[in-house]
C-alpha cells in the first residue's frame, strides 16, 4: 500500500498554510519545508522546518520505515523532546483500520494518543482525529490528508489554544522507497527500538559532523544534497508495488 503518498516525503518538499486562532479574524502564513534527510539501511529520517516569515519556529522529525511513518522528535526554540517509543503517525495499513493508539513519553511527560480514522470524506482525502492526553489535560486534533498532497487542513482544541490551519499552496515530489519492503503481518506500534538513538548518534558523528558533535539530531547543514539523484516522482502506485513484490529477486541492499 502506498501509504506514503498521503504524506509525501522528499528533500525540499514545501507546504504553505494559513493559520488562525478560533474565533479570530487574524491569520498568519507558515511555511513547512523538508530540510534534511538522513538515510539508514531500512529507514529514513526526514526533518521538517516550520517558518513564520523567515524565522524558523519549530522542527519535527519523521521516520519512514517498513510499517509506516512515525513521529520521532520535536524542537521548539531550544526545547527538544523525543517521543519514546516512536509515534505511529500513519501506519502502512491506515486505510484499512479504524483506530490505533500509542502510549509512551514525550520528553519526560507520560502521554497517551488515540487515533481514529474516519475514512474518506471527499475524493482521495482521509479524515483522522486523534486525542493526546497527559497530566496537563486533553487535546484533540483533526487532520485531513490528501493523496499526492499531504495535510490539507488541521484543526486543534487544546487546554491552551484552538486553531485552524488550511493549505494555501504546495510543491511536493516523492522519494525513492523501493529499497524498503513495505510488508508486516502484525505491526507492533508500541514496540520500542532501543538501538534507534545510538544509530542516529553514530551516523551524525561519523558522516555529518565528522570531528564535532551536536546534542540533538538537527543540524544547520543541508545534509542530503548528495542523495538528490535518488529522488524521483512516484505518483504511480502500481509501479512501486510491483518492485516491492519482486524485491527478493532483485538487489535488496541498495543502501
Please give the average per-residue pLDDT across 35-52, as a whole number. Answer: 93
Share of the chain above pLDDT 90, in %: 62
Dihedral over alpha carbons 209, 212, 217, 218 (to 10 degrees): -80
| Domains, the chain | 3-246 (2.40.360)
pLDDT tens digit sequence for 199-254: 444 544 544 333 333 344 444 444 344 444 433 343 344 444 444 444 444 443 32
pLDDT of the residue at 177: 84
Is 50 exceeded by the pLDDT of residue 147? Answer: yes
C-alpha–C-alpha distance, residues 160 and 139, integer Å: 9
Residue 23 CB-density burial (10 A; 0-12 exposed, 13-18 middle, 19+ buried): exposed
What value does the mean pLDDT of the chain take? 79
Buried b (16+ CB within 10 A) or exposed e, 61-100: bbbbbebbbbbbbbbeeeeeebbbbbbbbbbbebeeeeeb
Backbone angles phi, psi at 201, to 5 degrees: -60, -45
The total of other beta-carbon atoms located within 10 Å of residue 49's CB is 17
C-alpha–C-alpha distance, residues 217 and 45, integer Å: 10
C-alpha–C-alpha distance, residues 125 and 156, integer Å: 18
Dihedral over alpha carbons 149, 120, 30, 148 (to 10 degrees): 0
Q: Is the pTM of this model over 0.75?
A: no
Looking at per-residue pLDDT, the higher value among 115 and 23 belongs to 115
C-alpha closest to that of 166 among 154, 179, 148: 154
pLDDT tens digit sequence for 155-175: 999 988 899 999 999 999 999
Amino acid at each position: 500500500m502506498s501509504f506514503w503518498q498521503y504524506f509525501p516525503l522528499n528533500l525540499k518538499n514545501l507546504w504553505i498554510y494559513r493559520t488562525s486562532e478560533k474565533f479570530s479574524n487574524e491569520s498568519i502564513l507558515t511555511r513547512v519545508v523538508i530540510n534534511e534527510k538522513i538515510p539508514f539501511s531500512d529507514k529514513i529520517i526526514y526533518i521538517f522546518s516550520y517558518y513564520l516569515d523567515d524565522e524558523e519556529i519549530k522542527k519535527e522529525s519523521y521516520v519512514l520505515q517498513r510499517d509506516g511513518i512515525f513521529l520521532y522528535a520535536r524542537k521548539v526554540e531550544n526545547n527538544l523532546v523525543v517521543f519514546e517509543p516512536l509515534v505511529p503517525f500513519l501506519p502502512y495499513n491506515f486505510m484499512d483500520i479504524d483506530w490505533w493508539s500509542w502510549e509512551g513519553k514525550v520528553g519526560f511527560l507520560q502521554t497517551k494518543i488515540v487515533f481514529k480514522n474516519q475514512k474518506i470524506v471527499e475524493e482521495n482525502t482521509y479524515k483522522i482525529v486523534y486525542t493526546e492526553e497527559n497530566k496537563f489535560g486533553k487535546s484533540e486534533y483533526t487532520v485531513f490528508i490528501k493523496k499526492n498532497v499531504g495535510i490539507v487542513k488541521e484543526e486543534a482544541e487544546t487546554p491552551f489554544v484552538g486553531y485552524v490551519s488550511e493549505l494555501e499552496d504546495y510543491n511536493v515530489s516523492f522519494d525513492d522507497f523501493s529499497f524498503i519492503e513495505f510488508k508486516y503481518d502484525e505491526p507492533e506500534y508500541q514496540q520500542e527500538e532501543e538501538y534507534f538513538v545510538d544509530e542516529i548518534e553514530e551516523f551524525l558523528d561519523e558522516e555529518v559532523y565528522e570531528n564535532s558533535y551536536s546534542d540533538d539530531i538537527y543540524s544547520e547543514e543541508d545534509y542530503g544534497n548528495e542523495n538528490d539523484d535518488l529522488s524521483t516522482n512516484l505518483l504511480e502506485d502500481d509501479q512501486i508495488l510491483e518492485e516491492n513484490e519482486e524485491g527478493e529477486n532483485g538487489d535488496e541492499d541498495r543502501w
